[in-house]
Amino acid sequence: MWNVTIKGLLAHKLRLALTALAIVLGVTFIAGTLVLTDTLHNTFNTLFGTIYQNVDFQVRGVAQFNSTGPGGAPVRNPIPESVLARVRAVPGVGVAEGEIQGYAQYIDKNGKAVTTGGAPTLGVSFDPNHELSALRLVSGHGPNTANQVVMDVGTAQKYGFAVGDHVRILLQGPTRTFTITGLARFGTANNLAGATLAAFNLPTAQRLMGDVGKLDAINVAVASGANKDQVQHTIAGALPQGVEVVTGQTVVNEATSQINSNLGIFSTALLVFAFIALFVGGFTILNTFSIIVGQRTRELALLRIVGASRRQVFAGVLLEAAIVGLVASLIGLGLGVAAAVGLEKLLSGLGFTLPSGSVVFAARTVIVAIVVGVGVTVVSAISPARRAVRIAPVAAVSEQQTEDEISFRRRFTWGAVITVAGVAALAAGLAKPAIQLVGVGAFLIFIGVARLAPAVARPMSSVIGRPLARLLGTSGKLGRENSMRSPRRTAQTASALMVGLALVSAIAVFGASLSRSVTSTIENAISANLVITSTAKGQQAGFSNTVRPTAAAVPGVKATSTVYQDQFLVEDSVQNLTGVSTATLSQTVILDMTAGSSSALAEGQLLIDNNTADSKHWTVGAAVPVRFALTGPTTMRIGGIFKANALVGKYLVGSGFFLTHFSNELPVALLVATNGSSTTESAVKQALIGYPNLKIQTKAEFEQSQQAQVNQLLTLIYALLGLAVIIALIGIVNTLVLSVFERTHEIGLLRAVGMKRRQIRAMIRSESVILAVFGAVIGIIVGTGLGIALTSALRSQGLNELAIPTPSLLIFLVLAALLGLVAASWPARRAAKLDVLAAIAAE
């Protein structure tokens, strides 16, 4: 059987190459993701190792609670500076230096804020002791006065700064100008994974970014010869309550694991799309092997006649699949590594300079890539292999029968059962919510619908093909007839595209709903004319607290409200808390109170939204136990309940209360109510010209920019789903090539009786367009359903509007038809090039 399999593979190189391509692409995606994240992981490991190379211990505040969201960094309070003297006094301590970290954003020579695209814009205290510092001065000297700064080499190179230059820096307080006294690196890297860095001397750093007399942490190096355990023990004994001492290795491990969990989210997201691509590839494989088995009926029957057992035939087909899967996986693995290297280079090119680390090619990557690649191929080939087993030996000598009409009823019963199970899983998953269950549900729905699709393949192909037949005459008519010929083949080919388009459509519905919800959320939450936010993204998305008085002083401005955001504990669960100015609240913010009054904010009471009130059974006047990292546990009284709004959040307090419970908070937004004239608007912009990190937008502009963010996310997801669509197209190409091969005779006959090459091409293209549109129609229907389900399930999360983007869905349909044309181009050319005589003579 081995020999027969190998010969079979060699005989069908072309069609198997196309099949393999689907697997190659999927495995490339997987291998690339794994190699990239492993490499990044290793890079960060090395980086943190370098940074804390000489730090034996770190003294820091104990973790109050872990913040939610990506990374989940623990929230710690600063420690009194007096601890430093105590630590230094411990016998065996060699060097001990305080450390401060905060927000400091450079302004480039053109007056624009230096942005990083996600990485922090860090301000730190410069440690004069080179033994402890992560920073390595490359040129110049450290900052000695309050007006001096050390810049990272990365920023200096990118924006053309040199030692001795003046640079303006955005800070929590007013913007200041500094003199660059030196340039520094993080270990061997020009910057810390894309972050910008401004290092001040310690007193300046305390004044600008922290609290005078407080430190974020103390780094300690043990004197040579001292017993480290003993020193750690002694330091611990000398520390006040709420302060701990940990080893440098612990700090490295913590920092690395935070990065890892971020990378984990990143790689999981990519792997989901890789899985989708492979899932679609599975349809292509199933289809190809079905067709090949059908075409080799005689050959397989002959094998049975000469004595091959059912098991041998079955194993032969699976072996063929396994070999194809293995070869494809190995190619995919190679391409994946290349892609990862390329991506890393791209990241470096974009300014995320990382310390040079070699590409990590873990054994796990090889194993996962091969197991998944071979697994998907073999599993997809099981059903065709079973069909091969059912071929009777007599088929070798009897007339070639048409494709066996499988027991439709049984097939459809199963299809319906799987679809219903999928819908149930999806519903349960959305209700919980459990993302894995949602995934399983969608997966089952796709398989179920794919099994049901042959039932509608014939009538739908007929309907879709009708205009083509009218438009293209005989060629269109023949294309239509060909697509109706084998409902199962048509359905299987179209199913791959169905999955891709279902996901695209679901995302489109979700995105359109999100976009509209964002608008209505803003409309229902903000009454101010202008919204001021920071251009920076991520955790440091704040801006200076001097912006508000500057804006408030502009004539025509009637009211300004600052918005803060941070996290606190409510009944031991971490929640987001919004703080907002109370005096001007009514002029800038819309709070639709369902109970109590918003004036309770000024009294230091807590407002909650109606969803939270319902789920926790809290009413106005209830006392709620909460805890702040800085100030510890306390009890807050519910002063009012407002109608849920995603922009406001679930928990709301006054800004006065907020600032006393958090240290060094930056405003995340400033809401400005003006007299409405555009003169005032430009006056505000003019007044704030010194803050290039600000986005000053009218409410309408703010809405548009929020929608643009949604669209940006959609575009990214579309791009990632694009691979699945491409694989589906490869499936169409494959089916068409196999069909052309199968119909060599017929095409020869058509050519003999006078069909032109152009007409042959039109015939193949018609068939392709019908296949593509069929898949797209089902996909769009299923996807719209999925999108509606997803949107409804997230209603309580602020997705309060449902929008079905009909124009987008129609565009998808047209695009699918065009892609069908593209997919047909090669098979159509092949068909048109068939030698008439050879085609007629082929027996």
Q: Does 306 bind another protein (CB under 8 A)?
A: no
Q: Does 770 bind another protein (CB under 8 A)?
A: no
Q: Does 484 bind another protein (CB under 8 A)?
A: yes
Sheet with 93-99, strands from edge to edge, namely 93-99, 217-222, 57-61, 243-247
CB of 821 to another protein, least distance (A): 21
Segment lying near another protein (by CB under 8 A), choices 80-88, 279-287, 517-525, 755-763: 755-763
Q: Does 650 bind another protein (CB under 8 A)?
A: no
Q: Does 754 bind another protein (CB under 8 A)?
A: yes
Buried b (16+ CB within 10 A) or exposed e, 761-794: bbbbbbbbbbbbbbbbbbbbbbbbbbbbbbbebb
146/840 with CB nearer another protein: 840
String of DSSP letters for 150-195: EEEHHHHHHHT--TT-EEEEE-SSS-EEEEEEEEEEETTBSSBTTB
- Residue 244 backbone phi and psi in degrees, to 5: -130, 165
Rounded to 10 degrees, the C-alpha dihedral 184/188/189/190 comes to 30
Q: Does 653 bind another protein (CB under 8 A)?
A: no
Question: Strands 632-642, 593-596: parallel, antiparallel or unpaired by DSSP?
Answer: antiparallel
CB of 758 to another protein, least distance (A): 9
CB of 30 to another protein, least distance (A): 41
Q: Does 474 bind another protein (CB under 8 A)?
A: yes
Q: Which of residues 808-837 bind another protein (CB under 8 A)?
A: 836-837
Which residues pair with residue 140 across a beta bridge? 182
Q: Residue type at 133?
A: S
- Residue 836 gets the label, from left (phi > 0), alpha (psi -120 to 50) or beta, of alpha
How many angstroms separate the first and last alpha carbons of the chain? 26
297/784 with CB nearer another protein: 297
Residues 353-392, one symbol each (x = binds another protein by CB under 8 A, - = not), give: ----------------------------------------
Q: Does 463 bind another protein (CB under 8 A)?
A: no
Q: Which of 110, 241, 358, 402 binds another protein (CB under 8 A)?
A: 402
Task: Determine how many CB atoms are found less than 10 A away from the CB of residue 3.
Answer: 7
CB of 472 to another protein, least distance (A): 10
Segment lying near another protein (by CB under 8 A), choices 129-137, 327-335, 423-431, 478-486: 478-486
246/840 with CB nearer another protein: 840
Q: Residue type at 809?
A: L
Q: Does 258 bind another protein (CB under 8 A)?
A: no
CB of 777 to another protein, least distance (A): 22
Q: How far apart are CA 771 and CA 824, in angstroms?
A: 10
Q: How far apart are CA 382 and CA 286, in angstroms?
A: 8
CB of 467 to another protein, least distance (A): 17
Provide the token pair at 154. Answer: 């990365």
Segment lying near another protein (by CB under 8 A), choices 359-367, 558-566, 616-624, 749-757: 749-757
Q: How far apart are CA 324 and CA 285, in angstroms?
A: 10
Q: Does 753 bind another protein (CB under 8 A)?
A: yes
Q: Which of 485, 616, 637, 829 binds another protein (CB under 8 A)?
A: 485
Q: Does 478 bind another protein (CB under 8 A)?
A: yes
Q: Which of 53, 746, 795, 803 binds another protein (CB under 8 A)?
A: 746
Q: Which of 39, 64, 482, 517 binds another protein (CB under 8 A)?
A: 482
* In contact, 639 and 605? CB cutoff 8 Å: yes
Q: Which of 752, 810, 814, 818 binds another protein (CB under 8 A)?
A: 752
541/836 with CB nearer another protein: 836
Q: Does 751 bind another protein (CB under 8 A)?
A: yes
Q: Residue type at 409?
A: R
Closest of 35, 137, 825, 743 to residue 368, by C-alpha = 35
| Binding positions for another protein, rule: CB under 8 A | 402, 473-474, 477-478, 481-482, 484-485, 745-746, 749-757, 759, 836-837, 840
